[in-house]
Structure 1
């Protein structure tokens, strides 16, 4: 919280659903307002990834104030979120610019048809509400890096021309290939460390907000050189 106060920001967290949906509102003068609704699970909320994204947006040039709401539940699929109805209520409650969809990590591999059907239903509804659908392409398990290609392909096929792809998995793959000393995974070989969450937030930042350069101050506890490297990887993946 001190980091935010030092920047003249107000961070508000409001519980709006029993499954853990939160609203972050960054109030700051002279910034562009952007609203995002995240629908997903622990790959979305781990290490407050949406909060990291808001920090990056507030620190970059041009400066953005993000209004972010999350509808999240551990292990939930997009089909389950549709059935629960909480995400749909959040979608219809206000006008969003972006709605981010994140399938359970192995869903695109274990049930590609079910994933595609659920994502397509969400994307159609999101567009009907006047928002832009965004697909959060997640990372492969640490012990199965060969699955990344399958995950990428499943998300790309599902998105078609209807959604923006945020290629987080590709960024993780690049770091793993270039520098294995940077730990992206928790010991469970699935969830993100702070490194992984920061890299994820950087990919969202460069994809959705398209800054003119990748240089940002380091607002985390990561070493400066490491934070800058993760920023560069996110920039490279987005530009390519």
Structure 2
């Protein structure tokens, strides 16, 4: 009796293991694998923006499973990341689908030539590895909205025909012009609130994956209506 019972337990375990493996394989088949490397600073990692992007990609149709790694440091410029070497080492450590570049928030305003040189160096190096370079177009400070046009132009010049532009700053500008009740900035008038990070993630999602549907579940603590509005703004951005 004990021997028979043991055989049944083993059989059940094998079936369960096989079923689990089947579910894993099915999940992998239904999910398109995409790898992203983020190189930037607190505008990138604020409120775990890359994780918000991964949640959106996983919830959308078609479904994307994102493998994300980041090399980020507070106030870091692209020049800093090039000289420090860690980001370059990470870039060359494996094959990436996209590599996202984010300049320090005032870099395009205060040191435009330095930004152009650093962005060009990064873009060419990324393309040589076979990855697609992506420029994260940031937002103007809350007290200086007139600087958005300069930021947009600087990133567009850097990208040329060599990189994808993710127009997060343009999306922020749209929200500020149409619904000032949505707080995008923290009290420092610079860094993103959860609203701002979610809007940015939505712009990344619509730009990189151009999904056919414009409705996604709200996977954040934001009110459903507000999350839906931010999603719709992202779909209106050029890509």
1:38 aligns with 2:31: no
Gaps of 5+ in 2: 1-25
Match in the other structure for 1:108: 108
Quote the RMSD (CA, aligned, Å): 1.0
Matches within 5 A, 1:106-185: 106-185=106-185
- Runs of 4 or more, structure 1, over 6 Å off, are none
Question: Deviation digits for residues 113-153 of structure 1, max 9, x if unmatched?
Answer: 00000000000000000000000000000000000000000
The Cα of 1:213 is off from its aligned counterpart by 1.9
The Cα of 1:28 is off from its aligned counterpart by 4.4
Q: Which has more helix, going by share of residues?
A: 2
- SS of 2:161's equivalent in the other structure is coil
Matches within 5 A, 1:1-240: 28-29=27-28, 30-238=30-238
Gaps of 5+ in 1: 1-26
What TM-score, normalized by structure 2, do the two folds share?
Answer: 0.88
What TM-score, normalized by structure 1, do the two folds share?
Answer: 0.87
Match in the other structure for 1:16: none
Q: Is the 8 A contact 1:37 1:98 kept in 2?
A: yes
Q: How far, CA to CA, are the matches of 2:190 and 2:27 in structure 1?
A: 35
Paired residues, number:
213
- SS of 1:237's equivalent in the other structure is coil
Q: How far, CA to CA, are the matches of 2:92 and 2:137 in structure 1?
A: 24
Q: How far, CA to CA, are the matches of 2:155 and 2:58 in structure 1?
A: 29
Q: How far, CA to CA, are the matches of 2:217 and 2:159 in structure 1?
A: 32
The Cα of 1:238 is off from its aligned counterpart by 3.4
Question: Deviation digits for residues 140-196 of structure 1, max 9, x if unmatched?
Answer: 000000000000000001110010000000000000000000000000000000000
Q: How far, CA to CA, are the matches of 2:83 and 2:60 in structure 1?
A: 38
